[in-house]
Structures are given as C-alpha cells and as structure tokens.
Amino acid sequence: MLNKFYRLPKWRKNIYILWFGTFMIGMGSGEVLPFLSLFTESLGNFTKAQVNLYSGIAFSATFLMTAIVSPIWGRLADRIGRKPMLLRAALGMSIVYTLTGFSSNVWQLIGLRFLMGFFNGYVSNANALVAKDTPKVFSGQALGIVVTGYTSGALVGPLLGGFLADLFGYRMPFFITGAIFFLLTFLTAIGVHEDKSTLVTEKPKGKQPSVLKSVKFPVMIVGLFVTSMVVNLVTNSINPILSQFVRQLMSPHLGQLSMMAGLVAAAPGITAIIFAPKFGRLGDRIGSEKLVIGGFIVGVLSMIPMAFVTNVWLLVVLRLFVGLTTAAMNPAIQAILAHETPQEFTSRIFSYNQSFLAMGNVFGPLLGSFVANLVGYRGVFIVSGGLVLLNLVSFFTISKPLRLKHAA
C-alpha cells in the first residue's frame, strides 16, 4: 500500500496528504463548538446575558481575524510558497490551541481566539497549492476531494469534542487538538511537495497592478467571492435557532431533542462528503459554472420549503439537499478561481475567497438571530432562500464569459 502511494505523482500525493490536513483542521476547529459557551461560563461568575455575549465574541473572533489577515498571508504565499504558509498555520494553531487550554479568564480566551484567526489559513493554502500544481483537467476533482476533508472533519469534530469534554473536562480537547496540529505540521513538512517555478521570489519594483486587474474577468471573480460568502452565510444562518426550531417541530418527543438537532445540523455535511468529489469530476467535464448555477437552483428549492415544514424528518431531508448545494458549489467555485487566475496570484485569490467565507461565518449567525427575533424561526429560511435567488440572478449575468467560452 505504501509502495503504491510513493509511486504516485507528487500532485496526487499532495491531494491525499492535504485532504488529511484539512480534515484535521476541520475536526480541530469543530471540537470546541459543543462546549465553548460552557467553557466561557466556567471562567468567571457571569450572568446568562454575559455568557451569551462573551461566547459569541469568542466564536466570531476567529472568523473576523481570518477575514482581515487572509489577504496578507495570501500575498506572502505567492512570494515564498504555499507550503511555508501551511507550516505557519499548522504550527501557529498548534501553539495557540495548547495555550487556550491554560486560559484562566475570559479575556485570555477571547484574545487567543483572535490569535487562532491570525494563524488561520491552512485550508485556503491547501486549496491554492492543489489548484496550482494539479493538471487543469483534474483540478475540479482534486479540489472536490480536498473540500470533503474539511467538511468531514467539521462533522466529526463536535462529536469528538463533546465526548472528550464529558470524559476529561473542557480543557483537554484544546491540548489534544494542539498535539494533532503539531503532528500535522510534521506531516506537511515531510509529505507535501510544491512546484516553486511560478513563485514571484523578488519584490516587484515600482507600482504594480492589483491582483484583480491581472485577471481576465475581474467582475466575475468578485462575484465568486460574494457567492462563497452567501453560501456560507445562509448555511450558518440556521445555527442560532436550530435547537429551538427542532424543539418546535417535535414538542411531543423532547427526549430526543439533542439527537435530532445534531442530525439536522450534520445533514448537509453528510451529502457534501459523498457528492463533492463526484460533482468535481462532473464540473471538469461540463463546466464548473453550470454546477454553480445548478447549486443555486437546488439551494432555492430546498431552503424556502423549510419555512413550511411541520415534520422534523422532512427538515432533515431538505437539509440533505442543502448539502448538495455545498457539494456542487464549493469545488466548482475553487476550480473557476484556479482556471481564471494567473498562477503567480493563486494564493492571493484563494485568500480573498477565504476572507469572504469567514465573513459568511461571522454574519450568518447574526442574520439568523436578527430575522428570528423579527419575524420568527421560519422567516430565516425565507430570507436565506431569497438571498440565494438574488445571487443566482447575479451569477448568471457575470458568468456569461465562461458560458460563451465553453460553448465556442
């Protein structure tokens, strides 16, 4: 088995190692979600309102900082390489997660959560390296595989984190995650190979054109960034009201609430894991822009009906279809960015996309809470579906150059 692996081309080895790497990042990031508010509560004598506020800040801090610093790391990655950025992210997060386990007050926790966002970037650089070094004909499939790594880890993480917290307390998961990220640093160092022939190793002299001016269709690229944000935003908008909405649908069977809420939360990830590589291969054949449009349509047809469900199992089925949206759109967006970006700017473009994804993580729960307070839980699904529909109309307009190119 190992001999067969060693005989693979370097770009194929990268795919498998980076799949494992993004899986570990997804798992480590998801581990703290089930008990972050409980850990916050244990750090002081707080009221319920203060716990909600501090845990909300701690949760959002990582994504907010990621949105701010990703372009900076992307610019550096285009000069010194994506592999050094992978090592920076893995080692930095290893140290920060370990230190978080020693937090003695809530402000240390919040400060370290900001630092996690500062060192973030493993996933975006993994995508950029795969996009750059994989033959273009296989890029959609390769990115589809890597996307499933993070999604799989994000599914397993909360289950593992909850189990470890119940068994060893709230601090132990941080120590275990720090150790996992340290091992990931070592694995990345010895296993990932990067073709550095496209790096801009010298700082250019004089004023240089912006990255967006260097791509052929800048409006479309920005539209893809917005699309990434919207997909993440609507996927996360349900998070603040998930348990309450499930309780409303199954009030006679409250004993199963935790299990059903977990199943509803996990449903999109299950279908994304199964179908993302398949959709990636399909996008390589028919054109990734068609997959994005198809993902939009499935998103509208699955999100809006959620507002009218009266049975929790129907909600689970519709959430599975939301996973098809993610499985179709995420690798397709990454593939389009890879195809339409000069190689010397790949990391910067992917880091900008990472910033927009992070903004979706920040604003999605805020949108869900605001709409739920304004018009009720069901309104969240109507608003989310409406945003996807608007984005579909916008993307159909800006993607015309791609459709014309593939039709020629």
55 and 79 fall within a common domain? yes
Are 163 and 220 found together in one domain? no
Report pTM: 0.75
Domain that holds residue 145: 1-195
SS3 annotation, the chain: CHHHHHCCCHHHHHHHHHHHHHHHHHHHHHHCCCCHHHHHHCCCCCCHHHHHHHHHHHHHHHHHHHHHHHHHHHHHHHHHCHHHHHHHHHHHHHHHHHHHCCCCCHHHHHHHHHHHHHHCCHHHHHHHHHHHHCCHHHHHHHHHHHHHHHHHHHHHHHHHHHHHHHHHCCCHHHHHHHHHHHHHHHHHHHHCCCCHHHCCCCCCCCCCCCHHHHCCCHHHHHHHHHHHHHHHHHHHCCHHHHHHHHHHHCHHHHHHHHHHHHHHHHHHHHHHHHHHHHHHHHHHHHCHHHHHHHHHHHHHHHHHHHCCCCCHHHHHHHHHHHHHHHHHHHHHHHHHHHHHCCHHHHHHHHHHHHHHHHHHHHHHHHHHHHHHHHHCHHHHHHHHHHHHHHHHHHHHHHCHHHHHHHHC
Q: Which tens digits make up the pLDDT trace of 342-391?
A: 777 777 888 888 888 888 888 888 888 788 888 888 998 999 999 999 99
- Along the 408 residues of the chain, how does pLDDT read in single tens digits? 556 666 677 888 888 889 999 988 888 877 877 677 778 888 888 887 787 778 778 878 888 888 888 888 888 888 888 899 999 999 999 999 999 999 999 999 999 999 999 998 898 888 888 888 888 777 777 877 887 788 788 777 777 777 788 788 889 889 988 998 999 999 999 988 887 765 655 555 555 556 767 777 888 888 889 998 998 888 878 876 776 788 788 766 555 665 677 678 778 878 888 888 888 788 878 878 888 899 999 999 999 999 999 888 999 899 999 888 888 888 888 888 888 887 777 778 888 888 888 888 888 888 887 888 888 889 989 999 999 999 999 988 888 777 776 665
pLDDT one-digit tens code per residue, 29-42: 778 776 777 788 88
Query: Are residue 245 and residue 144 in the same domain, yes or no?
Result: no
Last residue within a domain, chosen from 195, 224, 249: 195
Q: Is residue 279 part of a domain?
A: yes
Q: Same domain, yes or no, for 7 and 100?
A: yes
- Please tell me whether residues 248 and 331 are part of one structural domain: yes
Per-residue pLDDT, 373: 82
Same domain, 188 and 217: no
Using the 3D structure, point to which of 155, 170, 195 is the last residue of a domain: 195
- Tell whether 279 and 404 lie within a shared domain: yes
CATH of the domain at 269: 1.20.1250.20
What pLDDT, on the 0 to 100 scale, is given for residue 385?
93
- Shared domain check, 310 and 223: yes
Residue 205 in domain? no
Of 166, 195, 224, the last residue of a domain is 195
Q: Residues 215, 276: one domain? A: yes
Number of domains in the chain: 2
* Residue 200 located in a structural domain: no
My answer on whether 246 and 345 are in the same domain is yes
Q: Do residues 319 and 171 share a domain?
A: no
